[in-house]
Structures are given as structure tokens and as C-alpha cells.
Amino acid sequence: SIYSSNGKNNIDSLLSVSVKIREEIDHKQSIIGSKIIIGEYFLSKKDTLNAVENFNQAYILSVKHHSNYDILQSLELLSVSDKEKQVFYTEKYHKVKDSLYELEKATRNKFARIAYETDEIVEQNTILSKRNSYLLGGVLFTSLFALLIFVLFRLKIRNKELIYQQKEQNNIQQIQEL
């Protein structure tokens, strides 16, 4: 049976092998998880000394690698398993949890501010796009109006020239008739 003394040794060796493999590939998160699992295993076997040792190792690694979830988990397990330092670990657990909550709140506020500022910028861009469209329309309208006035002015001058030429031809014709 797996739960016999031979089964206990088998589980111990499998847990040790898993930690060694994870240490060989240097996967910090997995090593921390293994230490916690081994500590929980020893805690279930009423071996609090080994459990506390593994939880401490997990805590130290968690702090070293800034794994906030694992820090909380290892502190919680230490406060349950280490009766001598229970108050210390409980206080530390609450301090870390509160500081993580404040950090999370600050991060949420920062993201909310970024979202708000982004919305403001998008709104300003929309307003500027509308202004640019109106400005472009105004420039085009003014340009077309100026072109129309220029063409009309040119036609009027051309018309006056034609009228002048016609009068001259009429005058020449009248002179020739005389």
C-alpha cells in the first residue's frame, strides 16, 4: 500500500526528486510550490519540525523572488504550524496582506487614472479632428469662392475687352462707310 511505511518513503523520495528536478531547471516558482507542498505533506504527517523548515524555505525563496502570493501562503502556513512564533507570523501575514492590498489599490487607481486620461485624450483628438475638418472645409470653400471671383473678374475683363473691340470695329466700319 502507498500509505505504509514503504509508501511513506516512496512519497518522500518522489517529493525530493521533484524538488531536485525543479532546482536543476532553476524554475523558482515551482521550487517554492514544491517546498510548500512538502511542508503540507509533513504537516499532515504531524511532523511539524520538517513542515516548518520547508515553509521557512518557501518563505525565504518567495521573498527573494518577490512572489507575493507565495509569501502570503507560506506565512499563513507558518502561523498555523509554528506554535512558538504563531503571533509573529500572523502579524507579519497581516502586514504583508495589508501592504499588498494597498499596492493593489494604488495600481488600480493608477490604471483608472490612465484610463481616464486616455479617454480625455481620445475626446480631445475627436474635437481636434472635427476642428480640422471644419478648417479644411472652410479653406476649400474660401479657395473655391476666391477662384470663382477670379474667374468672374477675368470674364468681366474679357467681356469688356470684347465690347471695346466690337466698338472699335463698329467705329472702323463707320469710318470706312463715310
Q: What is the pLDDT of residues 56-113, one digit of tens each?
A: 888 888 888 888 888 888 888 888 888 888 888 888 889 888 988 998 999 999 999 9
On the CB side of 31, CA atoms within 13 Å amount to 19
Alpha carbon distance 29, 27 (integer Å)? 6
Mean of pLDDT over the chain: 86
**Burial class of residue 92 (count of CB atoms within 10 Å of its CB; 0-12, 13-18, 19+):** middle
The predicted pLDDT at position 68 comes to 82
Q: In the prediction, which pLDDT does 154 show?
A: 95
Residue 117 has which C-alpha cell?
A: 486620461
pLDDT over 90 (residue 160): yes
Model confidence at 2, pLDDT cuts 50, 70, 90, reads very low
| Interacting residues of 72 by C-beta distance below 8 A, sequence separation 6+ | 93, 96, 97, 100
- Which position has the higher pLDDT, 28 or 141? 141
The pLDDT value recorded for residue 124 is 95
Which pLDDT belongs to residue 1? Answer: 35
**Three-class secondary structure of residue 45 per DSSP:** coil
- Number of Cα atoms under 13 Å in the Cβ half of residue 114: 6
Nearest partner of 100 among 81, 129, 76, judged by Cα: 76
Calculate the CA 112 to chain-centre distance: 11
User: Tell me: the pLDDT tens digits for 100-124?
Assistant: 899 899 999 999 999 999 999 999 9
For residues 143 and 128, what is the distance between their CA atoms, to the nearest angstrom? Answer: 22
pLDDT confidence of residue 4: 45
pLDDT band at 8 (very low <50, low <70, confident <90, very high): low
Least confident range from 17-21, 141-145, 174-178: namely: 17-21
